Structure 1
Amino acid sequence: METRKLILCCAASAAVSALIAVTATAAAIREEVQPPQLPEQSQPPAVQPESQDHEYILGEWEGRLAVYRTGESEPDSVLDVYLGLLPPADAQALREGIPVEDQTELDRRLEDFMS
């Protein structure tokens, strides 16, 4: 009977320890995965390339990756790709604006940023 009590006590202790570990891990994950603070207001990218034969501009809107049509100040679409989670060079390039020639190049570049 003593052995059975000891086994039940150890099992209960292990279950409580596991529950505490899972709760602490979940809390840590929630803190780390929060999106970065968004800026108050975003400006459309100010791309001034030498030639204007591009259809789109990849840029930033409220801290996220956005697709602009050339010459437009409002984004055509905004994706859930946060610049704060990208490599610094990519985030800076998006803040400055990346000209994109056509839909094929746009699809390829978006796939690169989302993978």
Structure 2
Amino acid sequence: MITVEVDAAEVERRLRAGQITCPSCGGVLARWGFGRRRRLRGMGETLIEVRPRRSRCGSCARTHVLLPVTGLLRRADGVEVVGAALEAKARGAGHRRIASGLGRPPSTVRG
């Protein structure tokens, strides 16, 4: 998984230009379809629709998903929500108070 900018057109341009490199071997990544469409939970009731681009290295043939920076690996909440939770924790709030403030179950914030 590689994080890239939010602008899908810019990601496509960089892939076509050979400007994204493979984290495994340093080779050039090429377009290779798309990952599954998913929805990330934003602040409040906001849902963020994401369809990550897949890529394949021309050197080692490994495939990688290019995830926009608005999402985090294996997280249903967007980066804005996770960041707000981390800030609240740094200020000393407990997981139940953080969960209540973000409208999430306490088990989601705790884990």
| TM-score of Structure 1 vs Structure 2, range by shorter chain | under 0.3
- Bigger Cα Rg: 1
Higher strand fraction: Structure 1 or Structure 2?
A: 2
Higher helix fraction: Structure 1 or Structure 2?
A: 1
TM-score, with length taken from structure 1: 0.20
TM-score, with length taken from structure 2: 0.20
